[in-house]
Chains A and B, each alone.
Chain A
Amino acid sequence: MISCLRLVRHSSAFKTVIGNESAMHEIEIRLPVLMQLNGLRTSPFTAPVKHAQVQQEVMQDASEIHNEKFTKNVLDKVNHQILNNQCGRLFAVVYFAGKQKLVTPEDLVMVEGVFPPNIGDKIRLEKVMCVGGLHFTLYGRPLLSRDLVNVEATVVEKNLSHCRVYFRSLRRQNNRKTKFSREMQTLLRINCVDIMHKIGEIREVEGADGRIF
């Protein structure tokens, strides 16, 4: 570019365009710097870019569709078993008297310690953490809905345990302590473990609803 300018410098056409010799000299000095900056500058006359019209389409993830189908299939199968009583003998994990118990219908369950219900009382065990049948198991986080599972039990027997001896002695110290204790033991008969409605439905009220875990 510079060599080109030098060639053109003495021509008459050049003098008519630029005119001044010193101005020409200045251009020659600055040109390399200007050349470097040239790439960084944005041209003020950028032509507007015309994009081609693109038709947008919402694609669903193939695995998501598969998962939805799979979930629906599983729920349908479980619901079918619930409705047609094909679950087999259900088991449930219930939380009562401060302990978790895995129970099935016709089980005898012992509760140790203070337990207010009397003999013959029918009680419903509301804190169900897990219920399972032949082909499926439902886990609560931590409890299943109160309407979903119905576990009923009858108090069969109330009695005291055998005498437990608390004995402590230190030899040659004349230190000895003996205590006797008999705990209250209550025997419950589990009458039924039932699933009351279909799963996979959104109920009006869900959660712990009044139960304290």
Chain B
Amino acid sequence: MVITSPTLFARSRGPDRFWKRRRILALSAHFYGRKQNCFRVAIRSVHRALSFSTKARALKKRDMRILWNTRINAGCEEFGLNFDRMKIVLDDTGVALDRKVLQNLAIWEPRSFRALAMLTRAKEAEQGLNSLQGPPPGVVTRGML
């Protein structure tokens, strides 16, 4: 939708019914059917869309967290772990990487992520948890965990 006069559009709050409607119709320009051009129908769908987008900004944060958890869990399962166990060990040992970074490592830095997984197994073995197979080979803790 082309707005012919931006100045008039910018001050469209007052009595001019045309520009007042332009404001709403500018937001509905990409809608389908009568929602696009018919003001009576358009304003309803524009309000609906705006309230959705307002709520979605909060929901996005929650959804991303769930997605990151899923990705990290998938990465952990490769090493017979799950994220709950890994998180406890990371908190214990003071590695404070957050989920966003961890999922990034799991995808793009698989060997760095593997190191964290091995760290988890070594620490658990030190505590005597989940360690029937003993500590993983190639991990030297020097008693500093």
Counting CB contacts under 8 A, is B97 at the interface? yes
- Tell me the residues in window 84-115 of chain A with beta carbons closer than 8 Å to chain B beta carbons: 91, 93, 100-102
Q: Measured between C-beta atoms, what is the minimum distance from B46 to chain A in Å?
A: 9
> Chain A interface residue count: which class?
20 to 34
Q: With an 8 A cutoff between CB atoms, is A165 at the interface?
A: yes
Once A91-B109, A137-B109 are accepted as A-B contacts, the answer to whether A166 and B54 lie under 8 Å apart by CB is yes
Tell me how many residues of B have a C-beta within 8 Å of chain A: 23
- What are the residues of chain A within 8 A of B142 when measuring CB–CB? 67, 71
Whether B14 sits at the interface, judged by CB under 8 Å, is no
For chain A, residues 64 to 85, give those with C-beta under 8 angstroms from any C-beta of chain B.
Answer: 67, 70-71, 74
A21 to B113, CA, bound (A): 95
A14 within 8 A of B: no
Give the A-binding residues of B (Cβ under 8 A).
47, 50-51, 53-54, 57, 93-98, 100-101, 104-105, 109, 111-112, 115-116, 140, 142
Chain A residues close to B by CB (< 8 Å): 67, 70-71, 74, 91, 93, 100-102, 129-130, 132, 137, 139-142, 164-169, 176, 178, 213
Which 9 A-B pairs give the minimum distances between C-beta atoms? A141-B94, A167-B50, A142-B96, A137-B112, A67-B140, A100-B101, A102-B104, A100-B98, A71-B140
